[in-house]
């Protein structure tokens, strides 16, 4: 199958490409950029006039809810959501039921994902058995089964001895460890940022110090053990400052932020909007601005969707009792574009945060469009506006604070391994 | 953001919180309550304003006292009153809060009086009724978690107005566990809306929520300083479980620092009134000599509470 994508604005952050350039895809890979390879005959030509052609998005945190939470979402529904959002690779956290702590579970997930033939799925294994924070998982076996990193998802890991040993063990074999910094004790029972909004609404709060203390602990242990650590879901301005300082001091460290936290803060909770019950909690305006600045200067490497589909029954509860989380696979691209537009970030630099950089965090050869690379491609109409509604979303979860909002940037085509796996409905009718 | 408790005409649709409630609306509630005080003194303590209406007292958290005052208020307005003590058992049986509401709506409820342990529960119910287009059903928040207890706030305002006439020029000191107190939050919103000159909160850091000064109050940790020149002293109830979880060392030490005694009360204005939402912990937050003393208006608060709840119910039913 030979596909030619022409007339589009090709943006490949890794190779510094940003120009109106044709792309030639053959046998699942990028055959050529610019000029056609010798003897080229296209089976299909995609006219990308008015669109940006970029690497498929790479999402560092997308919950597919299998196994265990099929009432919230299934692999089928969420993989549909992924490709509709231009996401061609995604890492799924281990907070399933049971947790991803056994090779069999990981193999099953990989197998199920492969059979759907859509986005690539990269499981993140549990760092401790059952995410209980006590015993290490068989990281070697899990790596062989397909885990690309190990994390504790949102489960508390209070025992610093266990954390230190987990990092030592992982460092021995150079496994990647992803950690969300949150002190288990300070966060206990809290559902909102410790500030004016939580005070007004009478919500139990999580102080910024919960992130700062955990981050300091992680940074000290990462320095000591030499483990390859990735900081997940930064939320406070103090956290951004610490990661910035640690990177300047030479610590090999990567870091991400959830796309919701780039746009929202605790004020958006309004009158107890449970769609804004997120983990970590939405913090103050100053924190959100610091996260944006951290993204702009590279302190924060990647933006992830932190996709968490939740069924209506689990969300339509009083704020604290509502299941936390929001969906984001279909919003990652438009919300990143919105940030780029508002913060005046050049498009290639913004797209790098959801393509090149997360690929580097994952350690996979993806997120670029050099000749020979896997043809994972996203074609997006930047100016096409659409409204986020329950009907326009493919994810089984309809839980997002952005319901009703009009966003610019609609995915027209998504290609995975050179196959067109998604075409927007409007486009198909016109073709 | 539209205030979810006002309808399109700015009239009261639900009573969920005093935050954002315009001063004229609060004044109207207090004015409406006035004649209901005298009804309670008559032989026949009944008016027909809610005749034929069904009021459900939905108590997901036990409170005999608050439930009783709402029941009396509704009955004096001639409503049919159904008391449901749901506790936590029905949610553990799998029925969600909104399922419970839908079932009771199907029984033709006209008004819900809701007490729930979670902040925001009453808002959730009001939003659900609005989303399912049942605007004729009214919700009164009878206390949601730490968030709000608007009828308590209103009865406190009524009491202050009764004894002090005007809010302008007043200094009101609220003492104790602000962190967990929906009573304090509602009273603070009411007082600031009505133009109280100074609202003070007094307590240790562990019992004051973050950035509490953003609610328009002045923070004191020293009770003697905080009581200086106060016209109104509001003592909050201290739950015994606060000694656990490292919030306080002991009830004895709390009383030493923040208990109201005759000696400390002498620092307030000579004509200061002392209020308490009840039930009191004598010897923990308040000394019996003060609770039963000449400055105490704690029992009149209870009487006014019924009149204020009658006022709220009758106004909601009329809208």
Q: How do residues B158-185 score in pLDDT, each as one tens digit?
A: 999 999 999 999 999 999 999 999 999 9
Are A348 and A320 within one domain?
yes
What are the pLDDT digits (tens) for A21-46? Answer: 999 999 999 999 999 999 999 999 99
Are A20 and A165 within one domain?
no
Helix axes A75-84, A103-116, angle to 10 degrees: 60
Are A197 and A220 within one domain?
yes
Cβ within 8 Å, pair B97-A199? no
Q: Is A316 on the interface with B (CB under 8 A)?
A: yes
Range of the domain at A181: 57-362
Find residues 181-220 of chain B whose CB sits inside 8 Å of chain A: 182, 185, 209-212, 214-215
Query: What is the distance in angstroms between the Cα of A105 and the nearest Cα belonging to chain B?
Result: 29
Q: What is the mean pLDDT of chain B?
A: 94
What are the pLDDT digits (tens) for A58-109? Answer: 999 999 999 999 999 999 999 999 999 999 999 999 999 999 999 999 999 9
What are the pLDDT digits (tens) for B220-259? Answer: 999 999 999 999 999 999 988 888 889 999 999 999 999 9
Find residues 100-139 of chain B whose CB sits inside 8 Å of chain A: 116, 118-121, 123-124, 127-128
Beta strand A302-304 pairing with A228-231 = unpaired
* pLDDT at site B43: 87
Residues A4 and A23: beta-carbon distance below 8 Å? yes
Are A284 and A258 within one domain?
yes
Among A362, A392, A418, residue at a domain's last position: A362
What are the pLDDT digits (tens) for B99-110? Answer: 989 999 999 999
* pLDDT at site A431: 40
pLDDT band at residue B41 using 50, 70 and 90 as cut-offs: confident
Cβ within 8 Å, pair B210-A200? no
* pLDDT at site B244: 85
Among A305, A328, A362, residue at a domain's last position: A362
Are A78 and A13 within one domain?
no
Find residues 243-282 of chain B whose CB sits inside 8 Å of chain A: none
Cβ within 8 Å, pair A200-B123? no
Nearest CA in chain A to B4: A271
Cβ within 8 Å, pair A202-B148? yes
- d(C-alpha A367, C-alpha A422), whole Å: 18
Q: CATH no. for residue A48?
A: 2.30.40.10
Are A116 and A245 within one domain?
yes
Are A8 and A62 within one domain?
no
Percent of chain A clearing pLDDT 70 (strictly above): 99
Beta strand A2-6 pairing with A23-26 = antiparallel
Query: What is the distance in angstroms between the Cα of B119 and the nearest Cα belonging to chain A?
Result: 6
Residues A271 and B141: beta-carbon distance below 8 Å? no
Residue A200 in domain:
yes
Among A362, A392, A420, residue at a domain's last position: A362
Residue A367 in domain:
no
Q: Report chain A residues whose CB lies below 8 A from the CB of B60.
A: none
Token pair in block for residue B208: 């004051």
Residue-wise over B261-297: b if at least 16 C-beta within 10 A, else e?
A: eeebbebbbeebbbbbbeebbeebbbbeebbeeebbb
Are A83 and A190 within one domain?
yes
Are A117 and A20 within one domain?
no
Residue A397 in domain:
no
Is this prediction's ipTM beyond 0.90? yes
By Cβ distance, the residue of A271, A313, A320 closest to B118 is: A320
Residue A394 in domain:
no
* pLDDT at site A429: 44
Highest mean predicted confidence (pLDDT) among A210-214, A424-428, B35-39? A210-214
Cβ within 8 Å, pair A313-B96? yes
Are A17 and A69 within one domain?
no
Domain count, chain A: 2
Are A47 and A61 within one domain?
no
Q: Is B146 on the interface with A (CB under 8 A)?
A: yes
- Confidence (pTM): 0.95
Residue A401 in domain:
no
Q: Is A198 on the interface with B (CB under 8 A)?
A: yes
What are the pLDDT digits (tens) for A246-276? Answer: 999 999 999 999 999 999 999 999 999 999 9
Is B6 or B190 the better-scoring residue by pLDDT? B190
Residue B88 has pLDDT above 90, yes or no: no
Q: Report chain A residues whose CB lies below 8 A from the CB of B1.
A: 270-271
Query: What is the distance in angstroms between the Cα of A70 and the nearest Cα belonging to chain B?
Result: 18
Q: Report chain B residues whose CB lies below 8 A from the CB of A203.
A: 119-120, 145-147
Residue A390 in domain:
no
Residue A317 in domain:
yes
Catalytic residues of A: 306
Q: Is B148 on the interface with A (CB under 8 A)?
A: yes
By Cβ distance, the residue of B98, B120, B210 closest to A272 is: B120
pLDDT band at residue A426 using 50, 70 and 90 as cut-offs: low
pLDDT band at residue A430 using 50, 70 and 90 as cut-offs: very low
Cβ within 8 Å, pair B214-A199? yes
Secondary structure element (H or E) that encloses residue A177, with its range: strand A176-179
Residue A334 in domain:
yes
Q: CATH no. for residue A104?
A: 3.20.20.140
By Cβ distance, the residue of B119, B124, B215 closest to A203 is: B119
Beta-bridged to residue A53, according to DSSP, are A10, A379
Are A128 and A27 within one domain?
no
């Amino acid at each position: 199958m030979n596909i030619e994508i022409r007339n589009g604005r090709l943006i490949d952050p890794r190779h510094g490409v940003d120009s109106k350039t044709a792309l030639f895809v053959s046998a699942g890979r990028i055959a050529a950029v610019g000029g056609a390879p010798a003897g080229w005959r296209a089976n299909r030509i995609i006219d990308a006039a008015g669109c940006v052609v970029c690497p498929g998005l790479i999402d560092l945190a997308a919950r597919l809810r299998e196994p265990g939470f099929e009432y919230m979402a299934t692999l089928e529904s969420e993989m549909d959501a992924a490709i509709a959002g231009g996401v061609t690779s995604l890492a799924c956290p281990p907070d399933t039921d049971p947790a991803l702590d056994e090779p069999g579970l990981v193999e099953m997930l990989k197998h199920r994902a492969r059979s759907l033939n859509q986005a690539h799925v990269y499981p993140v294994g549990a760092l401790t058995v059952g995410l209980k924070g006590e015993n290490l998982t068989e990281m070697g076996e899990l790596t062989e089964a397909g885990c690309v990193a190990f994390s504790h998802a949102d489960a508390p890991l209070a025992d610093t001895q266990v954390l230190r040993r987990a990092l030592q063990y992982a460092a021995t074999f150079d496994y990647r460890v992803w950690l969300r910094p949150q002190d288990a004790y300070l966060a206990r029972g809290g559902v909102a940022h410790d500030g004016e909004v939580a005070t007004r609404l009478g919500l139990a709060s999580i102080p910024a110090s919960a992130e700062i203390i955990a981050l300091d602990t992680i940074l000290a242990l990462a320095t000591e053990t030499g483990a390859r650590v990735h900081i997940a879901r930064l939320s406070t301005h103090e956290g951004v400052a610490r990661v910035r300082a640690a990177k300047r001091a030479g610590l090999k460290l990567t870091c991400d932020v959830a796309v919701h936290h780039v746009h929202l803060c605790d004020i958006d909770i309004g009158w107890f909007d449970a769609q804004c019950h997120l983990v970590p909690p939405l913090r103050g305006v100053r924190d959100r601005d610091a996260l944006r600045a951290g993204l702009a200067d590279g302190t924060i490497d990647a933006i992830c969707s932190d996709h968490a589909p939740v069924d209506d029954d689990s969300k339509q509860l009083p704020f604290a009792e509502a299941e936390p989380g929001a969906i984001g696979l279909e919003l990652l691209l438009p919300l990143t574009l919105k940030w780029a537009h508002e913060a005046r970030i050049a498009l290639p630099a913004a797209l790098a945060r959801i393509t090149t950089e997360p690929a580097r965090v994952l350690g996979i050869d993806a997120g670029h469009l050099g000749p020979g690379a896997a043809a994972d491609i996203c074609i997006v109409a930047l100016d096409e506006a659409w409204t986020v509604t329950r009907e326009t979303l493919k994810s089984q979860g309809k839980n997002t604070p952005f319901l009703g909002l009009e966003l610019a940037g609609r995915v027209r085509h998504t290609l995975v391994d050179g196959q067109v796996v998604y075409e927007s409905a409007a486009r198909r009718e016109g073709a | 953001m539209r205030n979810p408790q006002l309808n399109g005409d700015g009239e009261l649709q639900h009573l969920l919180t005093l935050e954002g409630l315009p001063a004229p609306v609060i004044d109207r509630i207090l004015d409406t309550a006035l004649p209901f005080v005298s009804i309670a003194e008559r032989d026949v303590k009944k008016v027909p304003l809610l005749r034929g209406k069904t009021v459900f007292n939905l108590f997901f958290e036990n409170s005999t006292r608050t439930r009783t005052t709402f029941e009396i208020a509704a009955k004096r307005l001639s409503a049919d009153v159904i008391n449901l003590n749901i506790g936590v058992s029905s949610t553990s049986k799998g029925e969600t809060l909104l399922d419970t509401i839908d079932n009771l709506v199907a029984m033709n409820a006209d008004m819900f009086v809701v007490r729930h342990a979670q902040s925001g529960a009453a808002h959730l119910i009001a939003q659900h009724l609005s989303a399912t287009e049942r605007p004729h059903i009214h919700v009164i928040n009878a206390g949601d978690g730490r968030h709000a207890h608007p009828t308590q706030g209103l009865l406190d305002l009524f009491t202050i107005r009764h004894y002090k006439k005007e809010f302008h020029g007043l200094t009101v000191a609220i003492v104790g566990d602000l962190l967990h107190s929906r009573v304090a939050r509602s009273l603070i919103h009411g007082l600031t809306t009505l133009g109280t000159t100074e609202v003070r909160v007094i307590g240790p850091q562990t019992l004051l929520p973050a950035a509490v000064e953003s609610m328009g109050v002045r923070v004191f940790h020293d009770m003697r300083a905080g009581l200086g020149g106060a016209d109104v002293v509001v003592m909050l109830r201290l739950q015994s479980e606060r000694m656990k979880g490292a919030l306080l060392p002991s009830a004895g030490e709390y009383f030493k620092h923040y208990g109201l005694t005759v000696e400390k009360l002498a620092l307030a204005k000579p004509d200061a009134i002392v209020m308490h939402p009840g039930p009191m912990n004598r010897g923990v937050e308040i000394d019996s000599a003060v609770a039963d003393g000449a400055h105490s208006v704690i029992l009149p608060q209870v009487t006014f509470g019924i009149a204020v709840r009658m006022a709220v119910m009758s106004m909601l039913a009329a809208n």
